[in-house]
Amino acid sequence: MENKIKRESHLVPPRTEAIRLSDYLGGVFQSIPSRKGMKKAIKKQLVFVDGEVASTAKYLYGGETIDLYEEAKKKSTLQLDLGILYEDEDLAVVNKPSGIVVSGNQFRTLENALPNSLEKSTKIDRLAFPKPAHRLDFPTSGVLLVAKTQGTLASLKKQFEAHQIQKVYHAICIGEIPQKGYLKSPIQGKWASTQYEVLERVASSKYGYLNLLEVQILTGRRHQIRIHLSEIGHPILGDVQYGKESLTSSGNGLYLHASSIQFQHPITQVVVSISQMLPKKFKKIFRSLNSWYN
């Protein structure tokens, strides 16, 4: 069975009547629950009955062992030093560096670095390669949730859609912004809500003031925090896309960091909270952050 990996096994219980394999397989395997999907697997010679390649016409009488295999895929992987903040058989939380996309058609993506950074799951519904459950912008750093099994991925996506996963960001923005704010405006035709609080403020000869913000997004639109802060005249430091041209900062990237995430583990149902300290470039502006690194 070269180039094949066993995914699931099933023992057919005793039967009073024989049944055609293609009629029996609907709902038997977690990884391919549909009959249509299993017919495709049979056609690809990924289904074996008692160790022999199966056909759709084979009859089952009870007592047979059905094995479902998957093709061993090849994937170009990227060597990248990722910080692993949490990992188990079902999922992981990694520290995404700034300056890399999460996924896409190009080779240099965080997704392509995951197989070299994480342990393979042994679960029967494991994904061929770990898959990010959400995205962070190219210039944004911080915590990123990764699924290692199909069931976990589906569950996490449902939690995101229901806004049950809490994410906290930290950002440095420009100007004398109010101490607290609730921002609500449409982004690409869909309403988006962001709330923030100023944790610390320092005077700046170039920017007037720089503010360390703690931010929570109540919706998950693309570039939401960056757009909302720019709309009220207080763009994030280093934002060349949404910032003011005369007040852009170059060389240190975007000062936006996903600092924590909280979610319910899809398997154990335990609430998991993971945090990652702010990048060191933040402490160069706010000296009070030095204690984070001692």
C-alpha 219/C-alpha 236 separation (Å) is 19
Q: Is the pLDDT of residue 149 over 60?
A: yes
pLDDT in tens, 165-208: 999 999 999 999 999 999 999 998 999 999 999 999 999 998 99
One-letter amino acid at 122 equals: T
User: By the 8 A CB rule, do 241 and 266 touch?
Assistant: no
Residue 50, Cβ neighbours under 10 Å: how many? 11
More confident residue, 100 or 70: 100
**pLDDT higher for 113 or 71?**
113
63: left (phi over 0), alpha (psi -120 to 50) or beta: left
Question: Which three-class secondary structure state does DSSP give residue 71?
Answer: strand
- The token duo for 262 is 């909280």
Name the more confident of 77 and 2.
Answer: 77
Q: Where are the alpha helices (DSSP H) in 50-122?
A: 110-117
Q: How far apart are CA 138 and CA 145, in angstroms?
A: 16
One of 67, 125, 137, 239 is an active-site residue; which one? Answer: 137
Q: Are 258 and 144 in contact (CB under 8 A)?
A: yes
Residue 3 confidence (pLDDT)? 62
Instruction: Give CA–CA dist 65/49, Å, rounded.
Output: 6
Look at residue 91 and tell me whether its pLDDT is greater than 60: yes
- Judge whether 140 and 131 are in contact, CB under 8 Å: no
Work out whether the CA dihedral 224, 92, 262, 95 comes out positive or negative: negative
- Banded model confidence at residue 80, pLDDT cuts 50, 70, 90: confident
Residue 293 pLDDT:
47
Check pLDDT > 90 for residue 291. no
Look at residue 215 in the predicted model and tell me its pLDDT: 97
Q: What is the mean pLDDT of residues 278-292?
A: 83
Q: Of 1 and 134, which is predicted with more confidence?
A: 134
**Model confidence over 220-271: pLDDT tens digits?**
899 999 999 999 999 999 998 998 766 666 678 899 999 999 999 999 999 9
Task: Note if 67 is an active site residue.
Answer: no
| pLDDT for residue 70 is more than 90 | no
pLDDT (0 to 100) of residue 105: 82
pTM, entire model? 0.76
Backbone angles phi, psi at 145, to 5 degrees: -90, 130
Q: What per-residue confidence (pLDDT) applies to 73?
A: 65
Check residues 25 and 78 and name the one with the higher pLDDT: 25
Q: Which residues neighbour 207 within 8 Å (Cβ) at sequence distance 6 or greater?
A: 174, 175, 237, 247
Tens digit of each residue's pLDDT (9 = 90 or more) over 27-56 = 898 888 888 999 999 999 999 999 899 998
Residue-by-residue DSSP string for 103-157: SSSSS-BHHHHHHHHSPPP-STTEEEEEEESS---TT-EEEEEEEEEHHHHHHHH
